[in-house]
Amino acid sequence: MEKPILVFQTDFTYKEGAVSAMYGVVKSVDRSLEIFTGSHEIPHFDAWSASYRLWQTVRFWPKGTIFVSVVDPGVGTDRRAAAVKTKDGYIIITPDNGSLTHIVKFHGIEEVRMIDYANRRPTSEGSAVFDGRDLFGYNAARLAAGQISFEELGPEYPAEEIVMIPMPKAHSEEGMVSGYFEIVDPNFGNMWSNILAEDFEHAGFEYGDELVLKVEHEGKTVLEKAMPYCKAFGDVKKGDPLLYTNELLHVSAALSEGSMLEEYKLGFGPDWKVEIRRK
């Protein structure tokens, strides 16, 4: 049988050797294991972004792939180290600190176990601040190599105890939708909302409609601007704003060949509320 692929995401960046050390541990367990990078540029300490990026990517990998997500401001404390089997056939290894929120909601959990610190990498007992290398990465490699079973990772606990970050739902009615900016495309500065394309359809919006985007943060309106709903960035002039449906079928806001994030000093999370209505 083929060994599972390993996919890693962290907030470590490539500025020092943490990523290389994790990958080295994997190859020391079994040199034949395949390792791929999801992202090592998750915003520091941001479990919400870690959760979203897992949801964004997991479904596109082969069933059985093992994901290691390490955004772990509570490293060394009593937060749980989780190993999760999803209902659709993936394994996620991560601190249980909210990083599983989207996986629980959109994939469903078949089984979750708390990784036992008795399974920690040998000779690593002197430090408690690099579980990414010594607990998560090490045991993901052992699991992929067939050196340990999922059940041997540690005791099972109820999926209902997984730490969840609140996820408000989008709302739609004739002529209006509302939600929040769920994440940002950091490379291009496009703002991705939790509003679905089907919410736009329910509101009666179509491509070509001129709509008004209103953004509120902490109770204050920070942006209110008219813009068209378009299929592609090239449907407007360079620098002009638009609404579009992104590759995950969520309604998003952008500047053509510009950064909506930087131009309007926006952010993301449930406190960045969005309302879109007819002009």
Please tell me the CATH code under which domain 171-278 is placed: 2.40.30.90
Total-model pTM = 0.94
Predicted local confidence at residue 208, as pLDDT: 96
Q: Is the dihedral of CA 242, 244, 247, 252 positive or negative?
A: positive
Predicted local confidence at residue 125, as pLDDT: 83
Where do the domains of the chain lie? 6-161, 171-278
- pLDDT tens digits for range 39-98: 999 999 999 999 999 999 999 999 999 999 999 999 999 999 999 999 999 999 999 999
How many CB atoms within 10 Å of residue 16?
9
Residue 129 has phi, psi (to 5 degrees) of: -115, 15
Predicted local confidence at residue 1, as pLDDT: 76
Predicted local confidence at residue 127, as pLDDT: 87
Predicted local confidence at residue 6, as pLDDT: 98
* Under-70 pLDDT residues of the chain: none
Query: How far from each other are the two terminal CA atoms of the chain, in whole angstroms?
Result: 58
Closest CA to 211 of 278, 151, 120: 278
Whole-number Å distance between alpha carbons of 189 and 253? 9
Biggest CA-to-CA distance, the chain: 64
Angle at 87 between CA 183 and CA 250, to 5 degrees: 25
Buried b (16+ CB within 10 A) or exposed e, 59-72: eebeeebbbbbbbb
Predicted local confidence at residue 278, as pLDDT: 94
Fold of domain 6-161: Rossmann fold (3.40.50)
Q: Which amino acid is at 80?
A: R
